Chains A and B, each alone.
Chain A
Amino acid sequence: MTIIKGYKRPDGSVGIRNHVLLMPTVICSNQVVNRIGQQVSGTVAIPHQHGCSQVGKDKERTHQVLVGMGKNPNVGAVLIISLGCEVMNAEQIRDEIMETGKPVIWLDIQDEGGTIKTIQKGIEAAKELVKQVQDGQRVDIDLSELIVGVKCGGSDATSGLCSNPALGKASDLLVAENGTIVMGETTEIIGAEHILAEKAVSAEVHHKLYDCIRNFEMEIDRMGVDMRGGNPSPGNIEGGLSTIEEKSLGCISKAGSSSLKGVVEYAEPIKGKGFYFMDSPGNDIECVSGMAAAGVHLVCFTTGVGTPTGNPIIPVIKITGNERTAKRMEDNIDIDTSAVLQGKETLEQAGKRIFDEIVSVASGSLTKAEVLGHQEFSINRIGISL
């Protein structure tokens, strides 16, 4: 049994970070949120492009992501900044986040009387929230509480050869300790879904996985586009990957050998243990943001050509199998598995190193993305603007 050091939340959930989250409910609140964030250390902000002119499932998705970010146990307290005329219901967002028992303050720019007054009041509020979460102490937590996202981006041929299969070994170690793994990227299992579907624990999960793929391919047909150039991206193709099938076959190994317990929607909370698939785009920032909103604690992110991707509330551990990338982008890469390709390390050994890093980061050590302040955030959008 492995122990990590985390924060116990009032609702019994467990966090591995203790952030005060500054949340705009709409794009119009971004500037106020950014100013408050600049003034009050200990806060993280999630500026975004949404919240206005959205309807139906698209509006629901933005709502779910915002609520999910607030509910994520890595967040100790939330300051919500609304404008007042947006389609997002700030009061409802506040009430849903408050169900977790964490402190939430809500300010509305139109009610407060403009930008300057809201910034002034917001700085005071944020300062109070930072003081409150500071009281939280790290305590012993069983590793089985941990939900880890597995993701790849900027893939090249080395991703499928060593960094993804090595991450798969770490995933197996985590699931063996009753932990949870979430893999996303519907676009990047196309051509490999039959292998993944074989692992489904039930016919229902099997069908749900195929439904995700069918819906996506129908959309590609409707658009009349060739995925190539967008995915695989120009960087993927430069790195040796020719087709989406080739990329997908390399991608799926990062989840390891576990049975597929369930398929969830984008940003839908993960409620069980074991291996789950999230119906999400392959786009790095949108996918990681969807995982964060689903309650994922940290993401293991493999990359071939290198990426600096981080997230405001969850640590992102960067893993490469490309020796050149490990050297060229040392600032950004946490783990180099290229020794596997040189026959100097086994996949199991590399997987154990990744597992040890997960335990260390879960207990407080910072990833390079955190040290450098990489806090990219983006909400996946499925509808039109009105």
Chain B
Amino acid sequence: MAVYDFNSEMSSIVLNRKDNVATLLRDVKAGENITYTFEGKLQTLVVKSDIRFGHKVALYPIPKGERILKYGESIGAATEFIDRGEHVHVQNIEGIRGRGDAHIQKEVKNS
């Protein structure tokens, strides 16, 4: 699955070429220029807010409802439009699986 390409110079990592998020390898501040490698080439990205180590940042604009891809696989869907450089976390994405509550909400809506 994921291609691991760790490098001491990188401030974030993209695990698969299909991914639309990168994972930060250090804390970053709003407005900071971060780097990652994509298909062997060094890329840069300006982050829009303070984001902590281990959290994700959007590599491209992601429309509401679109799948978030990490390791080349879906980790959930965007609950709102997410712009390039924005923090991608529980405030703007939600899981598709293990959602017994979604089932209940649907039943309430239909009744």
Chain A residues close to B by CB (< 8 Å): 156-158, 160-162, 165, 187, 190-192, 195, 217, 220-228, 231, 237, 239-240, 242-246, 249-250, 253, 304, 322, 340-344, 347
Contacts and interface: CB of A to CB of B under 8 A. Distances in A.
A165 B3 CA distance: 11
B59 to A, nearest CB: 16
Contact of B94 (A195, A231, A243): A243
Contacts of A227: 95, 97-100
A226 B101 CA distance: 5
B54 A191 contact: no
A187 B98 CA distance: 9
A222 B99 CA distance: 11
Contacts of B52: 240
Interface stretch (B6-14, B28-36, B42-50): B6-14
Interface of B: 1-2, 4, 6-10, 13, 15, 23-25, 52-56, 68, 70-71, 73-76, 88-90, 93-104
B14 to A, nearest CB: 12
A210 to B, nearest CB: 13
A222 B56 contact: no
18 contacts: A157-B55, A161-B4, A161-B23, A162-B6, A165-B2, A191-B75, A228-B95, A231-B98, A240-B56, A242-B76, A242-B88, A243-B97, A246-B75, A340-B6, A341-B6, A341-B25, A342-B8, A344-B8
B95 A245 contact: yes
Contacts of A240: 23-24, 52-56, 89
A225 B101 CA distance: 5
Contacts of B99: 220, 226-227
Nearest to B8: A343
B26 to A, nearest CB: 10
B97 A242 contact: no
B102 to A, nearest CB: 7
Contact of B100 (A223, A249, A341, A347): A223
Contact of B97 (A237, A239, A244, A347): A244
B1 A224 contact: no
B101 A191 contact: no
Contacts of B76: 242-243, 245-246
A233 to B, nearest CB: 12
Contacts of B23: 157, 161, 240
A187 to B, nearest CB: 8
